[in-house]
Amino acid sequence: MRYIDSSAASESLSLQLEENPNVFAKCHAHFDSIECLAKGGYGHVFKARDKLVKKYYAVKIVHHEEKALREVGALSDLNHSNIVRYYKCWLEDSEYQSSSSSSQKYLYIMMELCDDKTLKDWITEKNEKTLEESIRRAESLPIMQQIVSGVECIHSHRLIHRDLKPTNIMFGKDGKVKIGDFGLVATETDDNDENQSERTEKTGTKSYMAPEQVRSLYGSEVDIFPLGLIYFELLWKMCYGHERGKKPKLTDA
């Protein structure tokens, strides 16, 4: 699970996590062997071992806000072998005193711990090898079938992932493909003005974003566009980044 560190909010979170060990109060009470795996604009992810069951989990820490609660709500509804499993969440007081002397709350999200290698790493490894096309196709097909199965589950719950890309697709300890990072998830049924406005702000990753996602309201169909790009990357060896940087523009009918 990887993130792009690009926001002031993320820098603030990093500072508070580093300066204030009390942020991990409950985490330290129930977990040990805590190790930071990733950090970025949507939070920090830690590998931690539950002291009682002696098993490792991924614990994501984000600022407590409505967007973070949407991610938890989505994950709690999605029980599928190709989606990162959600276990539970809880709130913590950071006890970090800001200039306004108020305490910032953090949301902790406990999830399935996946392998360090993402689908992006898998693609990079294949591109560095010389494989017959038939072998690469044979290896890519079951991966893509699992991704599609996971996306079907997401859409069956009237949800839109909005950020499907190889770095957000991982491999579980059981070897199965796992779709993760639901930080940008949205509902198809929520059509209030606030939600509509949010969907027009180019939410997602530009190189995998559907044309409709850039300029207009949309539904779950925008998750289909990156599926095609991902499958192409699975099948075809691309040696240079600019080869995947261009895509057709949406034209008016």
Residues 88-102: tens digit of each pLDDT: 998 887 544 444 445
163 is catalytic: yes
CATH of segment(s) 8-111: 3.30.200.20
Burial class (CB in 10 A: 0-12, 13-18, 19+), 106: buried
Catalytic residue among 5, 77, 115, 163, which? 163
Lowest mean pLDDT among 1-10, 71-80, 81-90, 165-174: 1-10
What pLDDT does residue 211 have?
A: 85
What is the CATH code of the structural domain delimited by 119-244?
Answer: 1.10.510.10
pLDDT in tens, 113-154: 999 899 999 999 999 887 678 888 999 999 999 999 999 999
In 148-185, which positions are buried (b, 16+ CB within 10 angstroms) versus exposed (e)? bbbbebbbeeebbbbbbbbbbbbbbeeebbbbbbbbbb
The percentage of residues in the chain with a pLDDT greater than 90, rounded to a whole number, is: 41
Does this model's pTM top 0.85? My answer is no
User: How long, in residues, is the chain?
Assistant: 253
Give mean pLDDT, residues 101-110.
77
Please give the residue that has the higher pLDDT: either 13 or 217.
217
Residue predicted with more confidence, 22 or 173:
173
Residue 96 has a pLDDT of 40
pLDDT at 207: 83
Which residues are within 8 A (CB) of 40 and not within 5 positions of it... i.e. 6 or more apart?
2, 3, 4, 5, 6, 10
More confident: 34 or 28: 34
Asked if residue 3 has pLDDT above 90, the reply is no
Domain ranges of the chain: 8-111, 119-244
